[in-house]
C-alpha cells in the first residue's frame, strides 16, 4: 500500500528533545526530518525537575504557522510559578520569548510549560502544499541559562550588554568596548522588542585625531538597508540615534556597524596599539 505524501504516518513517530532536560509533551505532531509542529491549540514542553530543580531563564525561539499582519496569532505561555506571557505575532519568522523554567511541585519528575494559541491553520487550506494537518507553532531553539537583558545595555565587564556584541568587537573594558576593523555586529534578541517603532540611543566615543583628518564614519545597516549615518569626533556629545521603524514582533535584530576612516592608536601617535579601532561603545538605550 502506498501512503499519500500528506499522511502523518509517512514520518516515524519520533520527537527528539528540543533541549537537554526539556521534552515535547502533549499536543505535537510526529517529528521526522522537518520541524515538529504543534497539532493543538495547547501544546506542552515537559521540563525535567532533575535537570532544572530551580527556575532558570529560558529563551524560546518559535515559528507560528502562517502568521501575518492580516492573520495575527495570539500566543500565551504559562510556566507554573510565574506570570503568564502574552504575545501577538504577525510574522512566520522565528520570534523570541523569554521566560523562566517552572517551579516544580514536591516530588514532581516533570512539570509542563503550556503554549496556548488562539487559532491553527493548515498548509492545504493556506494553498501552500497538500499537507492537511492543522499546524500551530514549532520550536526552532531553546536556550537555557541565558543572561538577563534589558535596556539600557551597559557595555562594561560588569554590565549587562556584553551578550549583544556579536562580532567585530574587543572585550568589554571599563569605559566600553572598541569596535575592531571595518565591521561590527550587534545582535538584539527579540525579547527586547518594544512592540512598535523605536529608536536606539548610542553612547560612544572615538580616538582623538588631528583636525585635518576626516572624522570617523559609521553607517548602521540591517538586511542591506541603511538605518543611520554618523560622523564622530572625539569629545562630541551624544547620544547617537538610530531609528528602528518597526519592532512590532519579537524578532531578533542584527545590526551591522560599517565603519570608515579608521585609524589605529599607533597611527595617531597615541601609543603602540596597532589595532584598527573605530568607536568605543559605552551604552545603548531605547526610546519608544
Q: Is 96 helix (H, G, I), strand (E, B) or coil?
A: strand
Instruction: List, in order, residues 6 or more apart from 150 with CB less than 8 Å away.
Output: 160, 192
Top pLDDT among 102 and 197 is at 102
Tell me what pLDDT residue 13 has: 47
Report the half-sphere exposure of 188 (CA within 13 A, side-chain side): 21
Annotate 39-68 with DSSP letters as a single string.
-SSEEEEEEETTT-SS--EEEEEEEETT-B
Range name among 5-14, 39-48, 124-133, 243-252 with the lowest pLDDT average? 5-14
Please tell me the chain's helix, strand, coil percentages from 3-state DSSP, rounded to the nearest 5: 5, 45, 55
For the chain, the average pLDDT equals 92
Q: What are the extents of the domains in the chain?
A: 8-144, 153-287
Residue 284 phi, psi (nearest 5): -125, 120
Tens digit of each residue's pLDDT (9 = 90 or more) over 206-228: 999 999 999 999 999 999 999 99
**What's the pLDDT at 14?**
58
Specify the CATH number for 153-287; select among 3.30.450, 3.30.70, 2.60.40, 2.60.120. 2.60.120
What does the pLDDT read at residue 6?
45
Superfamily of domain 8-144: Galactose-binding domain-like (2.60.120.260)
pLDDT for the residue 96: 95
Q: Is the model more confident about 15 or about 32?
A: 15
Q: Is the dihedral of CA 158, 253, 277, 204 positive or negative?
A: negative
Average pLDDT, integer, range 56-75: 96
E strand spans, the chain: 22-24, 42-48, 57-64, 73-78, 85-89, 95-100, 110-117, 137-144, 153-154, 165-167, 177-180, 183-188, 198-206, 216-222, 225-232, 240-244, 253-260, 277-287
pLDDT top residue among 113 and 6: 113
Tell me whether domains 8-144 and 153-287 share a fold.
yes
* Average pLDDT over every residue of 102-124: 97
Classified as helix, coil or strand, 190 is: helix
Residues 27, 36: Cα–Cα separation, whole Å: 11
Q: What is the pLDDT of residue 31?
A: 63
Does the pLDDT of residue 175 top 50, yes or no? yes
Q: Is the pLDDT of residue 52 over 60?
A: yes
Q: Is the pTM of this model over 0.75?
A: yes
What is the C-alpha to C-alpha distance for residues 99 and 62, in angstroms, rounded to an integer?
13
Amino acid at each position: 500500500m502506498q501512503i499519500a505524501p500528506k499522511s502523518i504516518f509517512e514520518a516515524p513517530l519520533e520527537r527528539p528533545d528540543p533541549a537537554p532536560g526539556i521534552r515535547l509533551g502533549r499536543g505535537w505532531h510526529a517529528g521526522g526530518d522537518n520541524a515538529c509542529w504543534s497539532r493543538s491549540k495547547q501544546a506542552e514542553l515537559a521540563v525535567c525537575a532533575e535537570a532544572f530543580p530551580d527556575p532558570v531563564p529560558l529563551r524560546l525561539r518559535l515559528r507560528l504557522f502562517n502568521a501575518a499582519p492580516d492573520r495575527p496569532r495570539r500566543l500565551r505561555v504559562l510556566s507554573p510559578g510565574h506570570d503568564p506571557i502574552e504575545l501577538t505575532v504577525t510574522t512566520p519568522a522565528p520570534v523570541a520569548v523569554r521566560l523562566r523554567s517552572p517551579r516544580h511541585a514536591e516530588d514532581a519528575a516533570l512539570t509542563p510549560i503550556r503554549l496556548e494559541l488562539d487559532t491553527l491553520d493548515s498548509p492545504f487550506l493556506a494553498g501552500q502544499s497538500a499537507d492537511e494537518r492543522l499546524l500551530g507553532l514549532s520550536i526552532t531553539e531553546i536556550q537555557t541559562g541565558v543572561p538577563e537583558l534589558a535596556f539600557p545595555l551597559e557595555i562594561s565587564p560588569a554590565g549587562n550588554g556584553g551578550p549583544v556584541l556579536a562580532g567585530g568587537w574587543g572585550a568589554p573594558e571599563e569605559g566600553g568596548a572598541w569596535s575592531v576593523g571595518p565591521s561590527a555586529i550587534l545582535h538584539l534578541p527579540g525579547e527586547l522588542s518594544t512592540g512598535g517603532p523605536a529608536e536606539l540611543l548610542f553612547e560612544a566615543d572615538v580616538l582623538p585625531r588631528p583636525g585635518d583628518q576626516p572624522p570617523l564614519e559609521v553607517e548602521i545597516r540591517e538586511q542591506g538597508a541603511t538605518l543611520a549615518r554618523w560622523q564622530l569626533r572625539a569629545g562630541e556629545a551624544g547620544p547617537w540615534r538610530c531609528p528602528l521603524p518597526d519592532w512590532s514582533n519579537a524578532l531578533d535584530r542584527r545590526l551591522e556597524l560599517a565603519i570608515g576612516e579608521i585609524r589605529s592608536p599607533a597611527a595617531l601617535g597615541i601609543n603602540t596599539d596597532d589595532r584598527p579601532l573605530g568607536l568605543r561603545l559605552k551604552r545603548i538605550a531605547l526610546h519608544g
